[in-house]
Amino acid sequence: MADVMPEIPSLRLPALHASHSGCWLAAPDGSTRGLSRGEAIMASAETPLLMLNAPLVASRLGYPELSGLDLLELFAFIHPARFMVPTPKGLAHALNLPEPDGEADVPLLLSRAAAALFAHCEADDWAEREGAWSVLQSLARHGWPWAGLLAPHVKRPEKAERWVFAKLPEWEERAPRPQPAQMVLDPDAVADRLEELTGEGAERREGQRDYARAAAHVFGPRRERGQPNMLLAEAGTGVGKTLGYLAPASLWSQQAGGTVWVSTFTKALQRQLRRESRRAWHEDPTRETPAVVVRKGRDNYLCLLNLEDALQGGFSGRPAVFAQLVARWAAFSEDGDMVGGDLPGWLPTLFRRRGLAALTDRRGECVYAGCPHFRKCFIERAARHSAHADLVIANHALVMVHAARAQSGNGHREEGAATRPARIVFDEGHHLFDAADSTFAAQLSGSEAIEMRRWVLGPETGSGKAKSGRRRGLSARLADVASYDEAASKAIADARDAAALLPADGWLGRINEGQPLGPLEDLLAHVRRVTHSRDESASNEAGYGIETEAVELDGPFLEAAATGRDALARLRQPLMRLGARLDALIASDKEDAPDWLDGQTRQRIEGARHALSWRTDTLTGWEALLARMGGPADPDFVDWLAVERAEAREFDIAIHRRWLDPMKPFAVTVLEPAHGVMQTSATLCDRSPVPKDAIGDEGREPDWARAVARSGAGHLDLHPKLAEAASPFDYAAQAEVLIVTDIPRGNIGALAAAYGRLIEQSGGGVLGLFTAIRRLRAVHARIADRLARGGLPLYAQHVDPIDTGTLVDIFRDDPRASLLGTDALRDGVDVPGESLRLVVMEQVPWPKPSILHRARRAAHAAQFEAPRQQFDDAIVRARLAQAFGRLIRSRGDRGHFVVLSAAFPSRLLSAFPAGTPIHRLTLDEALQRLGSRVFCESTGQNTEEQKG
Ligand code: SF4
């Protein structure tokens, strides 16, 4: 093996590769041998081995304590913020090395990759040199295994290096943007802009042109306050809807001088939008801030103050190494986005995600202008840039939270009512209902209550964090205010006393032992008692979470709820008093203000005010939730009690409240203040089967009434415009649906065997979708080794220690790989081409029969005077349509969609695009069709089942 590529230098260190098909070890002289898992573990204990993705190797060996010299960590140090697929092939591509011929060649590749990376550190053109030497010194102090080996290759700089905090650019204050001009877009200009964007010579698609012209409607002047221009547009896969709406959006923003928000549900679409928006907004060096900005929730971004805490002793051991690598990344990152941005998704998993949450602003502890890094803060920069951007790319939850805060006056100083999203395109609009459902939900849980306690009191142990200025709770954060203002000081003291009544560390253990402490722990103990006593679902035995309706509650429960509510009010009242004192201070003019209230302190107090409002709103919501316990049911809400569990272990206890129709608050919060709103998706409408002669050959028609009801428009008496653009794909020629009828439900052995044979027959390229993690794991455990021995790697969510985004990158990069997963993969995977040839669903994806689902199903039946089953069917059809949508992403794609279901109801078949051939058959017949890769002629006709 050693003499395959003799001219390439390699590092003289042993290297290990382990996969489902075996283990290989290369000796320092380059000779490679296969070895057993036991021998591999022994070898790793004797000497540090080169390896790629140590947690994955550990999981393949079944030895979690494994450690070694991980090439991924070395890559992250030398090339921070650079994309790489973390596989041997991906590593070879990233470093311009030849791909390994087989698994036995991988250890040698690792040695060569290490040598190449070391050599790069000595090259003059190392783009990421700045800061490397200093960070390496810190890494050496934290015992990073690469530090000693790397040190001779990283030259000490001649002058002191800038630390990450010095290197980052500062944002500048800018005058607020004026209102956009009112205008109506010329349809011909929209079509011309679309042509510009699609590029010269691109095939002209009439559907896309009509779609773009229809989208222009939302940019016209609004006729009535509270009545935005609204469009619901369904565009089948392949219509080119992103450019379709970017054409009028870019035209309007450039001519009217306003901001358009495009909101997505998945990160994959955000990435695509970022790419495609470059066609409409070219680099413009005269602009002070970028034309296109990606906005995410605060907890996605690196908080520099948290990073500083971590670098200065807040972290130790492996998390400290992680913090140093994050510091390397931060210095080169485009926007500081740690989740789906340019921080490699695989980096946190190398450290078992320890330290990740503590580096973001997850608990809302930001001190704003009181922070020494305020002017360089990634979050502040994104907020300011978005106020001046032409296009803001965001997600549904962020748009809703942003609109809600603007409405309540709790907005960020830079993004209050004046910059609330006014013209919004909601792409992936079929997810709006679910996004609104979570955004407008209220829940009082043990984990949230303890966060509230910590925010007021700060850490109650003598840990390192306690020394950090920001984490000492409310009294330390507002010490200057307290010493100046007696009323504020009293309010802080009262809030501290009241917060001591909230759950404290160890609350779950105390409740389980029947010894709750304080009124809130007592209440949660009653929630647990009632939930366990009433649960009749199968979830209890299966180890999943359990729930019960919040009705017919007994006397002790109601007493505990009343006492809990009093305790919450006891905390809310002083916080509100404190808020009023802070308002007065902020409002004081220069003459009346105390000497210490300089500009920076004033901004810090504004930040504290903002955080206070957020907390008092939460407490008010919790009190309202408890006030309803035992009272008459409110028809707008569904309340229930839950014990949250994972793998039979309880991890939280909660009282939940959801809107029966979350589009009601969505309408008031998002639609009403907006000027134009478009909701678009490939699957906006349900298509229930209708008799053939009613509508012709298609056998289905879009249910616009349901789509309009789910858009929220009805709550404002809006009548949105409707538009539809059919997919240009020839589904009759490109795809087939195979319903396999001979796999008995509940037989894991048969299910696993079916997956194994389908993957083998297809030669990989399979996306396997499951509705239960337990079944996914069982199937994976039975077939992964055998498939790997045949050269067909199988990856799985919830099994491999790799984040979902990286799993999809790996899958996309290797046409012989297959991927198993659950919900997130059904809708967030964009893998055009050869890598995805077959989608397999293990069964019909029925909705979970939860309390909330039952209530909504009953409401739907009443509203539409329809059978209850119709509600479930529409959900399943939407899920099938989304899963099917993964298969054919371009005109060149071909593929099969398999459902392993003996009794797949015919009424669900209208989920698939018109013209798609559908067959019910046995597994053997399905394998035959896959083997022959037969697709029907392009007749546009469906099979009999589909019409039924
Ligand atoms: S301003 Fe807030 S979020 Fe930004 S770095 Fe400082 S503390 Fe962190």
Q: Which residue has the higher pLDDT, 6 or 732?
A: 732
pLDDT in tens, 791-810: 999 999 999 999 998 999 99
Predicted pLDDT of residue 318: 93
Tokens of 492: 């802080």
pTM over 0.75: yes
d(CA 489, CA 783): 65
Least confident span in 287-291, 328-332, 519-523: 287-291
Query: How far, in Å, from the CA of 176 to the mean position of ligand 1?
Result: 22
Nearest-atom number in ligand 1 for the CA of 306 is: 8
Query: How far, in Å, from the CA of 622 to the mean position of ligand 1?
Result: 28
Query: How far, in Å, from the CA of 417 to the mean position of ligand 1?
Result: 23
d(CA 772, CA 753): 17
Query: How far, in Å, from the CA of 368 to the mean position of ligand 1?
Result: 6
| Distances, alpha carbon 20 to alpha carbons 23, 33, 784, 810, 842, in Å | 8, 16, 6, 16, 23
Examine the pLDDT at 897 and tell me if it is beyond 80. Answer: yes
For the beta carbon of residue 702, count every other beta carbon within 10 angstroms.
Answer: 15
Query: Hey, whose CA ends up nearest to atom 4 of ligand 1?
Result: 377
Query: How far, in Å, from the CA of 365 to the mean position of ligand 1?
Result: 8
Predicted pLDDT of residue 116: 94
Query: How far, in Å, from the CA of 593 to the mean position of ligand 1?
Result: 26
Nearest-atom number in ligand 1 for the CA of 365 is: 7
- Would you place residue 408 in the very low, low, confident or very high pLDDT band (cuts 50, 70, 90)? low
Q: Helix crossing, 555-587 with 518-534: angle to 10°?
A: 140
Nearest-atom number in ligand 1 for the CA of 303 is: 8
Predicted pLDDT of residue 765: 95
Query: How far, in Å, from the CA of 379 to the mean position of ligand 1?
Result: 7
d(CA 555, CA 88): 63
- pLDDT (average), residues 772-784: 94
Query: How far, in Å, from the CA of 469 to the mean position of ligand 1?
Result: 13
Examine the pLDDT at 1 and tell me if it is beyond 50. Answer: no
Which of 373, 375, 413, 414 is the pocket-test mutation for ligand 1 (most atoms within 8 Å of CB)? 373
Tokens of 142: 């934290």
Query: Hey, whose CA ends up nearest to atom 8 of ligand 1?
Result: 303
Examine the pLDDT at 947 and tell me if it is beyond 60. Answer: no
Examine the pLDDT at 7 and tell me if it is beyond 90. Answer: no
d(CA 242, CA 272): 9
Tokens of 655: 């009282």
Q: Which residue has the higher pLDDT, 659 or 368?
A: 659
- pLDDT (average), residues 779-792: 95
Nearest-atom number in ligand 1 for the CA of 371 is: 6
Which of 363, 378, 379 is the pocket-test mutation for ligand 1 (most atoms within 8 Å of CB)? 379
Which of 168, 368, 604, 610 is the pocket-test mutation for ligand 1 (most atoms within 8 Å of CB)? 368
Of these ranges, 407-421, 476-490, 933-947, the one predicted with the greatest mean pLDDT is 476-490
* Whether 926 contacts 898, CB under 8 Å: yes
For the beta carbon of residue 107, count every other beta carbon within 10 angstroms.
Answer: 30
Query: How far, in Å, from the CA of 425 to the mean position of ligand 1?
Result: 30
In percent, how much of the chain has pLDDT > 90?
A: 64
Q: How far is the first Cα of the chain from the last one, in angstroms, to the nearest whole number?
A: 60
Examine the pLDDT at 603 and tell me if it is beyond 90. Answer: no
- Would you place residue 540 in the very low, low, confident or very high pLDDT band (cuts 50, 70, 90)? low
Examine the pLDDT at 537 and tell me if it is beyond 80. Answer: no
Predicted pLDDT of residue 288: 83
d(CA 872, CA 877): 9
d(CA 702, CA 158): 69
Examine the pLDDT at 513 and tell me if it is beyond 70. Answer: yes
Query: How far, in Å, from the CA of 370 to the mean position of ligand 1?
Result: 9
Tokens of 941: 């006709």
d(CA 354, CA 342): 19
Query: How far, in Å, from the CA of 31 to the mean position of ligand 1?
Result: 51
pLDDT in tens, 701-749: 888 988 999 999 999 999 999 999 999 999 999 999 999 999 998 899 9
Query: CA 916 from chain center: how many Å?
Result: 32
Predicted pLDDT of residue 390: 94
Query: How far, in Å, from the CA of 381 to the mean position of ligand 1?
Result: 11
Predicted pLDDT of residue 474: 84
Least confident span in 176-190, 402-416, 473-487, 898-912: 402-416
pLDDT in tens, 109-134: 999 999 999 999 999 999 999 999 99
Nearest-atom number in ligand 1 for the CA of 368 is: 1
Tokens of 13: 């260190």
In percent, how much of the chain has pLDDT > 70?
A: 92
For the beta carbon of residue 863, count every other beta carbon within 10 angstroms.
Answer: 14
Predicted pLDDT of residue 884: 92
Which of 170, 299, 337, 361 is the pocket-test mutation for ligand 1 (most atoms within 8 Å of CB)? 361
Query: CA 789 from chain center: how many Å?
Result: 34
d(CA 272, CA 830): 10
List pocket residues of ligand 1, CB cut-off 6 Å.
303-305, 361, 366-368, 371, 373-374, 377, 379-380
Percent helix, strand and coil across the chain, each rounded to 5? 50, 15, 35
Q: Which residue has the higher pLDDT, 863 or 32?
A: 32
Examine the pLDDT at 416 and tell me if it is beyond 70. Answer: no
d(CA 545, CA 646): 7
Nearest-atom number in ligand 1 for the CA of 372 is: 6
pLDDT in tens, 253-271: 999 999 999 999 988 888 8
Nearest-atom number in ligand 1 for the CA of 361 is: 3
Examine the pLDDT at 929 and tell me if it is beyond 80. Answer: yes
Query: How far, in Å, from the CA of 334 to the mean position of ligand 1?
Result: 17
Query: Hey, whose CA ends up nearest to atom 7 of ligand 1?
Result: 366
Indicate the average pLDDT of the chain: 88
Predicted pLDDT of residue 941: 38
Nearest-atom number in ligand 1 for the CA of 369 is: 1
Look at the block and give the residue holding tokens 């040190």.
Answer: 151
Which of 302, 366, 376 is the pocket-test mutation for ligand 1 (most atoms within 8 Å of CB)? 366
Predicted pLDDT of residue 9: 66
pLDDT in tens, 161-189: 888 888 898 888 788 888 999 999 999 99
Residue whose C-alpha is closest to residue 784's, from 21, 52, 104: 21
Of these ranges, 29-33, 272-276, 328-332, 699-703, the one predicted with the greatest mean pLDDT is 328-332
